Chain A
């Protein structure tokens, strides 16, 4: 919906396509926290030979799929308050221990949506001034996870770049983003240097260059 105009002119990856591409990079045994938006599409695309432990901020390690109709348990929800199931071997902890997992570096990856990402890895994703402020666990996740991967559309609804020289929205964390997966390509942030590592199928590097607001180096292939 949001990118209908863009999608019509640039045949990049769909939202599911972004999720599928990112899921291919998750390692066997990773402990992963998924934010709302595109990240929630990821579980269905995790390769069958890869086992991932999904963490939810409210104290769940080993989330399974959403609970089906009739199977909902009000005592078992994810961080979005949706009724969930558990995998065999799941564990429940309190909120302090849940965030000890987060801040203590025990999360391999958190995957989040973003309003903006800066070239040096600053992330803005929690607050649009003028709207109602709420932060949840976003600032803990970006401060603590070993890697912060952003999954988002490359440009906003108005067609403006979301990868920018400097974020104009309030920051969630400074120099925290390590990878960005968009409909047009994949970027890695290595020691503060943003690198375009691949273009989505059918997307030329110049198309990405025109739609990216921060400097980066091409490290394709």
Chain B
């Protein structure tokens, strides 16, 4: 009998160890798994590698992990939070900056068994030529750069080799989910969630509504439960302000 629903989020996420890589869904505050991120904060894990499009707009969730010094690396396209850059330039967190479409496809590819792929995005720029600083020293010097990416020409155009991402864990948010882990998203809160879920070796889904098995029609399931290991209910205990509006993506 498959029942992926878990009532206790602290117990559910406890197996995430320090040093883990964690793919997280959401675009700004839209579709962000706030309850799961709150729980991760409470677990006091360190040395985490977060793979996520944005680093929040405040000091909750990933913003809190950041200011508490619990992140080793962030892979993202648009961090937003100004304090993220303070930490980055001070050498306290590494920053793998990649184009947004590359982030989405790397997560998808990792979950789909595609180890690497070529994309035109970023070819011939400092995000692929080996010059972008991955990390700084405490003295503010560049300590390490994102390695140059392999370039190859297809159809007369330059492309770069990008690697699929298989994260140790994934945290995603859906509108509805059932006990088999089937998920349905709502409007643009879908964004990175199905891709982060695919990328995770072990995936936690936070849902607004737990629905009965069979209530989601097969044609209406956006992500089948094969990609989801545990389903948890969104908590209403810590409602969030929407992240800063008007920021570019």
Interface set of A (CB-CB < 8 Å, partner B): 35-36, 56-60, 73-77, 79-83, 92-96, 98-99, 102-103, 127, 132-140, 143-144, 170-174
Contact = CB atoms under 8 A, between A and B. Distances in A.
A82 to B, nearest CB: 5
B108 A135 contact: no
Contacts of B100: 57, 95, 99, 135-137, 140
B104 A170 contact: no
A58 B30 contact: yes
Interface of B: 27-31, 53, 77-80, 82, 85, 95, 97-105, 107-108, 119-127, 132, 158, 175, 185-195, 222, 242-249
A103 B175 CA distance: 28
A140 B121 CA distance: 5
Nearest to A133: B97
A34 to B, nearest CB: 11
Q: Which 4 A-B pairs have the closest CB atoms?
A: A99-B101, A140-B101, A95-B104, A143-B120
Contacts of A134: 77-80, 97, 248
A76 B104 contact: no
Chain B binding surface, main DSSP class: loop
Contact of A135 (B78, B120, B242): B78
B120 A170 contact: no
Given A99-B100, A136-B100, A139-B122, A59 B243 contact: no
Contact of B246 (A81, A143, A171): A81
A93 B223 CA distance: 12
9 contacts: A57-B249, A59-B188, A82-B246, A95-B104, A95-B195, A99-B100, A103-B101, A137-B249, A143-B121
Contact of A80 (B126, B127, B186, B249): B249
B77 A77 contact: no
Contacts of A60: 188
B190 A144 contact: no
A94 B191 contact: yes
Binding site of A, secondary structure by majority: helix, strand, loop or mixed? loop
A92 B77 contact: no
A24 to B, nearest CB: 26
Contact of B28 (A81, A95, A133): A81
A99 B104 contact: yes
Contacts of A76: 30, 187-189
Contacts of A79: 248-249
Given A58-B188, A76-B189, A95-B192, 17 more contacts: A35-B248, A58-B249, A59-B190, A75-B31, A75-B175, A75-B189, A81-B30, A94-B194, A94-B222, A96-B195, A132-B85, A136-B78, A136-B100, A137-B101, A139-B102, A139-B121, A143-B121
Given A103-B119, A170-B126, A96 B105 contact: yes
Contacts of A36: 248
Contacts of B27: 58, 77, 81, 95
A132 to B, nearest CB: 4
Nearest to B125: A171
Contacts of A83: 245
Contacts of B29: 74, 81
Contacts of A73: 187
- Pick the most buried of A58, A92, A138, A144: most chain B CB atoms within 10 A of its CB: A58
Contacts of A173: 123-125
Contacts of B249: 57-58, 79-81, 136-137
Centre residue among A60, A83, A136 by max chain B CB count within 10 A: A136
Given A135-B99, A174-B124, A75 B187 contact: yes
A94 B192 contact: yes
B23 to A, nearest CB: 12
B151 to A, nearest CB: 12
Nearest to A124: B125
